[in-house]
Amino acid sequence: MLNKMKKEMYDHLTENIIPFWKSLRDDEYGGYYGLLTYDLKLDKKAVKGCILNSRILWFFSNAYLLLRKEDILEEADHAYDWLKKYCYDPINGGVFWSLKNDGWIEDDTKHTYNIAFAIYALSSYFDATQNVEALNLAGDLRKTIESKCRDKQGYLEAFSRDFKPAGNEKLSENGVEAYRTMNTLLHVFEAYTEYLRVIKKLLNKEETVIKKMLNDNNGNMYSLLLNEKDKVGDDIRFMLDIIRDKIYNPELRRQEVFFDKDYNSLIDLHSYGHDIETSWLVDRGLRVLDDNRYTGQIERITGNLASKIYERAYVDHSLLNECEKGADDTTRVWWVQAETVLGFINAYEKSKESKDEISAKKYLEAAVDVWEYIKDKIIDKRKGSEWYSQVDKDGNPDPSRDIVEPWKCPYHNGRMCIYIQDIH
């Protein structure tokens, strides 16, 4: 059952997802085209979101790490060049929100969430290429977040080009504008996890090899790298404290979503997709951090998130979108289904490790079941397409939702296909 799913995802990755995103490469202006409508009309002049480009860079970097094919690495190089040349702001720091198709700035908002995805992508790109410039750029962006996007209580959201506070409508929904969000915290955590992972992997090499890579004859950069590892570890612990004490609601076994400055929840909202995504992303972060005290504290929370989602939102072979004020949104969203597969697979692995064979069987069967749903309802079988953005409860696709747009990318579904290959 598991091996069959892995093989199908491998084939889907190599025969569908990778070729589709390669076809969106813009060789005239750089980067990747930002809009393919539901009717499969490509708009070469559409805005190019920097989040989209970062996620494409992450995707091709990790696809290369799995497949080791040079044509895939060329795509990662192409995405990296665009990020470095156009998305990154060398004057004020951070990355812009979006660009015009030719690289001119379209929206110069600096958002912590957006900067985090650049760190995430650059870290993976360094792992794929050993390009020290990319690692240094990731480190520079982390310092920007820590110096300009964080206060004593946690991470802030949106800023102007020169990092003056701005409205957070970009990461607020459901009729509220949040001062802090669970979503931004989760993806800063995700980015720092990847950054710490590649630093630790680098530091596992011989010291002389590291110094040669860094062009570091006197050892100063090596010492800075050791110090950076410790700092990032402390940042991750800081975020885990927030998740445990502020974001997670132990009575409801869920995360709260939107907050005021002091972490008072602004709305009764259960985001099913974010909870199942958090359950495995935080567990991954715990493994990278390798701190037994935090693992003991937080794994109970991630286990509760996964079990509550299984009980509450796993309906008709798929996952509901969210629940606001007790009312379920029955839309099936593309990324939610992909994260559900990974979340249930993570719960399967944890159950196996704890010798809970009944739970392991339950979660594995659920992961396979959702994958079958994805194949049947979410993957768009039309030539030249990829996944539908969302379908209704009966599986009918929403024609108002584009196939590619600034938030619709190969990050969730590509990651599912790539990460599943390491499961045994």
372 exposed, middle or buried (CB, 10 Å; 0-12, 13-18, 19+)? middle
What pLDDT score does 219 carry?
A: 83
What pLDDT score does 218 carry?
A: 79
Q: Is the pTM of this model over 0.95?
A: yes
What pLDDT score does 11 carry?
A: 98
What pLDDT score does 216 carry?
A: 84
What pLDDT score does 173 carry?
A: 86
Identify the segments of the chain with pLDDT beneath 70: none
Residue-range domains of the chain with CATH? 2-422 (1.50.10.10)
Q: Residue 323 — φ and ψ, nearest 5°?
A: -135, 115
Q: Which residues, other chains included, contact 394 with Cβ-Cβ below 8 Å and sequence gap of 6+? A: none
Question: How far lies 242's CA from each of 269, 339, 344, in Å?
Answer: 18, 22, 24
What pLDDT score does 424 carry?
A: 82
DSSP strand pairing (258-259 vs 180-181) = antiparallel
